[in-house]
Amino acid sequence: MDRLDRLELFTRIVEGGSFARAARDLGVARSTATNAIALLERETGARLLARTTRHVAVTPEGEELYRRAREILAQVEDTFGAFGTARPAGHLRIDAPGLLTRTFLVPHLPAFLDTYPGLTIAFSQSDRFANIVQDGVDCALRAGQPEDSSLKMRRLGELPEITCASPDYLARHGTPHGIDDLEGHRMVGFLSSRTGDLLPLEFTHDGALHARRLDCVVSTDNSDTAAGLARQGLGLIQAPRYRFTDDLRSGSLVEVLPDYRPAPLPLNAIHAGDRTVSRRLGVFLDWVSGLFSRTAASP
């Protein structure tokens, strides 16, 4: 293995958490992979990976090398890909909420990978804003805008939002028909991943935005948990409509205040602004933009 091969091996071990899997993907023996990483550690003069019999963890020095190695490998890929008809190849790390990934991306992913067989993708799934550079993420799909002005965004579309409650909750508290009817109602509290503050419910009417922070007996910073709390009758909840498709169909949740729906959430692809978009990320962004232009606003 030359130095570039060792860097690719190292990045695959970090991303997959496994020597055996990385060696298999690259078609080398496990012993070859072990020796290559040992040589890389001697070359850098730093311990890059902390290994046990069951787990591989990257050290702080390894994280720094990983970030630099990914940039180097992306530049090499783009340099050779700029000539001829070579298709994009390499690894993508995409961070997105789990339900959004399962709802919009997963059903169409086989066709995308058939078109670009040289690509591999790792999805990390959370509600928080990923640290794009520090976490080694190629891009994050998020509703809203990051505070870091150094990041670049590509608008993918809008996600219509609705207000829901369980039939049991409405039987106990009544069904609100206007903003003034919210007195005495409760909400499922959702905590901002940025500030930790409780987010208010938002309503639009006659072109004006109205924010209401209702009483709540339980709160969370996880959208899946929040939806579960709403199903248990613990308050009103607001979220993108796609989250409640099955609940609305089954009747476990009911939309309320349809004439006062929140403003749609802008959905963005967020990526580092201090580097050229790689060809592999470029084709992914084009693909996901097409998906959301066709489906994100569907009822």
Say whether pLDDT at 144 is over 80: no
Q: How much is the pLDDT for 175?
A: 96
Task: Render the chain in DSSP notation, one character per residue.
Answer: --HHHHHHHHHHHHHHS-HHHHHHHHT--HHHHHHHHHHHHHHHTS--EEE-SS-EEE-HHHHHHHHHHHHHHHHHHHHHHTSTTPPP-EEEEEE--HHHIIIIIGGGHHHHHHH-TTEEEEEE--SSPP-TTTTT-SEEEEES--S-TTEEEEEEEEE-EEEEE-HHHHHHH----SGGGGTT-BB-EEB-TTT-PBPPEEEEETTEEEEE--B-S-EES-HHHHHHHHHTTS-BEEEEGGGGHHHHHHTSSEEE-GGGPPPPEEEEEEEESSSPPPHHHHHHHHHHHHHHHHHTT--
134 and 271 part of one domain = yes
186 and 128 part of one domain = no
257: nearest Cα among 182, 158, 186:
182
Here the CATH number for the domain that contains residue 297 is 3.40.190.10
For residue 194, CA distances in Å to 171, 187, 210, 295 come to 35, 20, 22, 28
pLDDT band at 199 (very low <50, low <70, confident <90, very high): very high
From the number of C-beta atoms within 10 Å of its C-beta (0-12, 13-18, 19+), residue 246 rates as exposed
Structural domain count, the chain: 3
Q: Could you say which of 68, 83, 98 is where a domain stops?
A: 83
Structural domain for 188, as ranges: 161-263
Of residues 195 and 104, more confidence is placed in 104
Of residues 192 and 170, more confidence is placed in 170
The token pair that represents 297 in the structure block: 């606003």
115 and 191 part of one domain = no
Mean pLDDT, the chain, integer: 86
Kindly report the pTM of this predicted structure: 0.70
For residue 112, CA distances in Å to 9, 54, 154 come to 25, 33, 19
Q: What percent of the chain has pLDDT over 90?
A: 47
Q: Could you say which of 46, 68, 83 is where a domain stops?
A: 83
Q: How much is the pLDDT for 135?
A: 64
106 and 74 part of one domain = no
141 and 273 part of one domain = yes
Mean pLDDT of 54-75: 85
